[in-house]
Amino acid sequence: MSDKPLILEAYYALVDARPDKIQFTQPTGDGPAIDYTRAQVLDEASRMASWLKTQGFEPGSRIALASKNCAHFIIAELAIWMAGFSTVAVYPTANAETTAYVLEHCGAKLMFVGKLDDWTELREGTPKELPLVSLPLAPKEVGAPQWNDLIAKTEPLAERTHRGAEEMALIIYTSGSTGRPKGVMHGFGQISAATHGIVDELDMNEDDRALSYLPLAHVFERAYVECAQLVAGGHTYFAESLNTFVQDLQRARPTVFISVPRLWLKFQLGVFKNMPPKKLNLFLKIPILNNIVRKKILTKLGLNHVRLAGSGSAPIPAELIAWYHSLGLNLLEGYAMSEDFAYSHLSNVNKNLPGYVGVPYPGVEVRISEVGEILIKSPGVMMGYYNEPEMTAECFTEDGFFKTGDRGERRSDGLLKITGRVKEIFKTSKGKYVSPAPIENIINNDPMIELSMVSGMGYPQPYALCVLGEDLRPRQVDAAFQAEITPKLQAMLAEVNSKLEHHERLQFLAVAGDAWEVSNGFLTPTLKIRRGTIEEAYKDKIEGWYEAKSKVIWA
């Protein structure tokens, strides 16, 4: 991969080859969607880079980006790189405290503010003295100089910028499922090597179409959608909102579709609303109906053109992958981290198995430590954690392998299974260790359940706290509904326990009264559960739950 061009050079070559090819399609809410060609993107980025260079910032300064996914998120990032600076993306759903921490920690000199659902929280955490620039879809109340006005009166750079492999391209702040976010530094060499590896392995090309909707502030979307497009040259569409997601999918007709387990589960539950699982399974077994039903479902989901579907960011139930395979969708699970720029493991056509996250990408070395921790050495490995040299040193072995914090098992053919987090494993009062993630995967596979968390440190047996599916939640306060669904939850609990070792068996299932969302702090921006936050929220009730001796508890 070392002979491949760095990401800016790769993008310049795409523009030179086909300047008029559409690169982005951006919905605008009230008006029609706007197409941006490669030449337009490069011209706008070059003009903004030219303006940024007049602001007197030192080379390598950190420039922040706070925006939902949109064309100008990526155009602004190109501008930041071309101006000689580094990008720091702030999650558009971040609260004021996290926003303030990230902007102060990285020493941001300016922030681009783009498409947002709510500017209030971010504004509260943004230092008053920090200069702002409004991207085209930014809320009007931002009240900052407008992108379009600035580029209209600024000439593009006289020459194309070339950044060195060792220069820092961006800092990705981890989503903070435990503790404060850490700033993962990546150089142009690392992100270029990882991106070329992804593009080559997945055979991505300029005919591919993708819908960008997972947070671009997270490494998953940044690597597989943004950077992959800058190297391979595909067409990226953006989602307008959750309410228009189906229409956005239909517009994009993606050939590559990357998602997270929670959304793959929601798609499945949407299908089950229209066709119960037993009826669907029957139709799929009938040769004449099989192809018709599969095509109809995938077309309705907007996934009928997908040649490559991926799931990452969190464990996905093996049964869910198998279900999508039964529909003819080639859903592949992968495994990677911010620290290796999403370049670690991926299933492929020849090596995939539900419950396993695939085999190492070319150039990736992996081994399992004596305590079962997965150790990775990747071409996409980070430069380190920003301003945290001691933390950086602690995360690597003496021979340069990154300590992932995940426990895993490897088969002889290289397939890797994640068995939980090293620090998430807890001990019961009987001295037995319980790994929650595999148990949660079994629970989450039930159509009644949207999310679950297994806990119980210091108690004789563990328990599970769960959130019902969004179609059931509005009725869960109704006594008649509880009476109707309790036996079903009891049966599900019994089935889950039948698959577990004795010390892992759940004492009870507690149904959470509230949804777990990013907005209430129970989920990270990438939809992983925040265990500490959830446990803290319910800590005063746990003793009573155990004393109640009921199998199903309505919390």
Parse the chain into domains and list their residue ranges.
7-187, 256-304+306-421, 426-554
168, β-bridge pairs: 187
pTM for this entry: 0.82
Query: CA–CA separation, 493 vs 540, rounded Å?
Result: 23
Identify the pLDDT of residue 1: 47
Identify the pLDDT of residue 175: 65
DSSP H or E run through 52: helix 38-53
The strand ranges marked E within 371-443 are: 373-377, 384-385, 402-410, 416-421, 426-427, 433-434
Query: Cα–Cα distances in Å, from 361 out to 356, 414, 415, 526?
Result: 14, 11, 11, 23
Query: CA–CA separation, 503 vs 299, rounded Å?
Result: 45
Query: CA–CA separation, 230 vs 22, rounded Å?
Result: 12
- Answer yes or no: same fold for 7-187 and 426-554: no
Identify the pLDDT of residue 291: 86
pLDDT along the chain (555 residues), means of 10: 87 98 93 94 98 96 97 98 98 90 97 95 96 96 96 96 97 74 96 97 96 92 96 96 86 92 84 85 84 88 90 79 87 92 92 88 95 95 95 94 93 90 82 86 89 91 93 90 94 94 93 87 82 88 92 93
Residue that the structure tokens 């056509």 belong to:
349
Segment 472-481 long-range contacts (CB within 8 Å, at least 24 positions apart):
472/448, 473/515, 476/511, 476/513, 476/554, 477/513
CATH class for domain 256-304+306-421?
alpha beta
Query: CATH topology for 7-187?
Result: Rossmann fold (3.40.50)
Residues 6+ away with beta carbon under 8 Å from 449: 443, 466, 467, 468, 469, 492
Which pair of structure tokens corresponds to residue 217?
Answer: 């502030």
DSSP H or E run through 228: helix 228-232
Identify the pLDDT of residue 520: 84
CATH class for domain 426-554?
alpha beta
Closest CA to 311 of 339, 329, 335: 335
User: Which amino acid appears at position 459 of this protein?
Assistant: Y
DSSP H or E run through 334: strand 331-335
